[in-house]
Amino acid sequence: MNINMLMQQAQRMQKDVEANAKKAKEELAQTEVHAEAGGGLVKVTMTCRHVVKRIEINPELLQDDADMVEDLIAAAMNDAARQAEEISEAKMKDANSGMGLPPGLAGLF
């Protein structure tokens, strides 16, 4: 095998990886996670690209201390972000699988 063939193969693989990563990112932008805190008093809907779509606060909670409301919102947001990260990592890992990349390099794309 000559160097030109290797370079062409590497370029094709790079284009495939880039296309798979782009598709995965587009899918993640549409994938939503739902999280809640305080037994459902605060609910957050967020995309896997960390765009908050909706925050729902039970009206009963608004009568409580503002600090508690803020803490529950933060907890729900953090839970949604954690879920989004897990889904994103799995989706990107799948997008890069089959490319013959050594362990550790797949996360670079």
pLDDT of residue 109: 46
Bigger pLDDT: 64 vs 50: 50
Q: Please, how many CA atoms are within 13 Å of residue 9, restricted to the half-sphere of its CB?
A: 8
Q: Which pLDDT does position 31 carry in this prediction?
A: 92
pLDDT of residue 105: 54
Question: What element of type H or E holds 57?
Answer: strand 52-57
The CB density around residue 36, as the number of other CB atoms within 10 Å, is 17
Is pTM beyond 0.85 here?
no
Identify the pLDDT of residue 104: 56
Q: In the predicted model, is pLDDT for residue 49 greater than 60? A: yes
CA nearest 18: which of 104, 89, 81, 92?
92
What is the second-level CATH architecture of the domain 32-96?
A: 2-Layer Sandwich (3.30)
Q: Where are the domains of the chain?
A: 32-96
Given a cut of 70, whether residue 102 has pLDDT beyond it is no
d(CA 95, CA 99): 9
Confidence at 39, pLDDT banded by 50, 70, 90 = very high
